[in-house]
Amino acid sequence: MRLFHVLALGALALPLAAFAADPHSYAQPDQVRVTHLDLDLAIDFPQKQLTGRATLTLDWADPKAAALVLDTRDLKIARVEAVDGDGRTSALKYALAPRDKELGSKLTIRAPQHPRAVRITYATSPAASGLQWLTPAQTAGRKLPFMFSQSESIHARSWVPLQDSPAVRFTYSAHVTAPKDVRVVMSALNDARHPLDGDFRFDQPHPIPSYLLAIAAGDIAVKETGPRSAVYAEPPVVDKAAHEFEDTEKLIATTESLYGPYAWGRYDLLVLPPSFPFGGMENPNMTFATPTVLVGDKSLVSLVSHELAHSWSGNLVTSAAWRDIWLNEGFTTYVQGRITEAVYGKALADEEALLSARALQKSIGRMPANAQRLAPEPRGIGADDALSDVAYDKGSWFLRTLEQRFGRADFDAWLKGYFQRHAFTSITTEQMLDDLRPNLIDKHPGKMSWDEVRAWVYQPGLPKDAPLPASPRFDAIDKERGAFLAGTLAADQLDAKGWNTQEWMYFLDRLPDVAPLAKIRELDAAWHLTGTPNAEIGMRWYSHAIAAGDKDVWPAAAEHMTRIGRIYLTTPVYRAFAATPEGLAYAEAAYAQAKDGYHPLTQAAIEGIFAKAGKAKASP
């Protein structure tokens, strides 16, 4: 996520000396690297804890290294031991540094004898930033408690002591015990027919970075959706989810036809409770997904296309630091569009690309210059902050520009080769550019200059000639919106009966930030947007209605933002309320009632909105 002025590197794997560059990790993998993780954990729902042991297999790269340094956050360390080749253990001295607000606590383990492995016995905190614990009443079935992890970006350290940097890849195995009737799943190969006997074992044979380490447990049912895919969800949700995601095998096969074989064996999806803070998380073998995409018409299944695409861009070829996260998200958003086009048609793919491009055009100018770069300067942006619209939408826009300039056939040949050349490695922006230049730019001279490429990557903003896809339906919506706002077209005369989710999103996205109250009420009377079950539409609608001053929508808006824990769909509504003192007080009261049901990341985002509003209120 920051602009390292380093020499371009052509090797497939990141050189050892570059490992220490990650400013979001205490680890020193240039001295010693974790190559395998073995977990033995027990899930304690009453105490909201994971307890057990993490055994780290080590590769000592520096013969002079005297210590293993790991990342932790709020872990209670009981003991640390060296493990020799015969499994014998001996105690090691260690020191846990004071807690840093963002990075957690550095764990330094004295190990001058360079043991083959180190075993750490520990327990997590009930407030671990990477775990959420739900009571039965907070689940769909209301029978059993539920727990799930969210390790991206640097939250794996809150439930496992490890080298929490995307530059470090490791295989893992796990033994997890849980109460009977609870199913446990992980970002590894899962057995849909595993008995619910409280004893689960997992294996991830491919090396992954720590942010892809994942676990969930609860009342989870399973329904197969294809020969190598299944949907996991709470029993009241699983049939609806299986119907919505019934095209999963078609999506996998389509992506394989474009970019080569799927490398992970199975692709399963876990639909989490509504408190999940993101749309989806691309955990290998087991994508975690929000239930907000279950709208019944498959209009939001591009989320599956996106998380599946990560199996190539992100999981297979990974950014080496959070500064480089556009290599994951920009590439994945581009591939998502290609999957959507192949399975659901070019019109839908173009609408989704145009939606994101227009939103970025509106927002990028309000960002600090450094945040507008695909490869930002090294300091000033937190690991979580790196996952911005710039990484996703400017990154994919850059790749669509390359496709347009070089033609789809030549661009696809480069991209497929890029995935193959860098498979199961973590790379920097500079390494990607070192691959791009000889294999595409120089190979087809005269189509795009190297200065143009560097401007996309290293300059703030968007190039003036950045190409936009065409969408005749969006053009028609622009005309209707303009006529409606001008008063020459009544709300009930909008040709909106056949609009899909994306078209409603586009109509609402391009309304004025503060629309006339009369126009908002006219829209609601004609189209009954208040109370919509579609969360994408609801987020936009409530934000506009609150900004316009329509207090009649407040109860429905509060229900929306307290029922849904997905940050993207919740915080805009809180932000709209926080714009006025009365709205802020209303939102704070709603949050006080709903707080315990939110994920820690969602809590932090909402409390940040309140803090900012409070400062604005206090300033003269």
Residues labelled as active-site residues: 307, 392
- Which residue from 152, 129, 133, 139 is spatially nearest to 271, judged by alpha carbons? 139
The encoded tokens of residue 127 equal 């407030």
Query: Crossing angle, helix 535-548 and helix 554-563, to 10 degrees?
Result: 140
| DSSP tag of 100 | B
The encoded tokens of residue 332 equal 């994945």
Distance CA 382, CA 80 (A): 30
452 is in an annotated binding site: no
306 is in an annotated binding site: yes
114 is in an annotated binding site: no
Distance CA 567, CA 555 (A): 19
Residue 542 vs residues 149, 256, 530: alpha-carbon distances, Å: 29, 40, 8
- Which residue from 594, 564, 592, 619 is spatially nearest to 290, judged by alpha carbons? 564
Residue 482 vs residues 358, 493, 533, 545: alpha-carbon distances, Å: 16, 13, 27, 18
Distance CA 246, CA 236 (A): 17
**3-state SS class at 229:** strand
Query: Crossing angle, helix 248-259 and helix 302-309, to 10 degrees?
Result: 40
| 3-state helix vs strand vs coil in the chain, percent to 5 | 40, 20, 40
DSSP 155-187: TGGGTS-B---TT-EEEEEEEEE--TT-EEEES
Query: Crossing angle, helix 501-509 and helix 472-486, to 10 degrees?
Result: 50
Are 593 and 563 in contact, with CB atoms under 8 Å apart? Answer: no
Other residues' Cβ atoms within 10 Å of the Cβ of residue 126: 12
DSSP 528-546: --TT-S-HHHHHHHHHHHH
Q: Is the peptide bond before 151 cis (omega within 30 degrees of 0)?
A: no
Residue 547 vs residues 40, 142, 511, 586, 588: alpha-carbon distances, Å: 51, 36, 11, 14, 17
Query: Crossing angle, helix 581-594 and helix 600-618, to 10 degrees?
Result: 160
Are 268 and 353 in contact, with CB atoms under 8 Å apart? Answer: no
Q: Which residues are annotated as a binding site for Zn(2+)?
A: 306, 310, 329
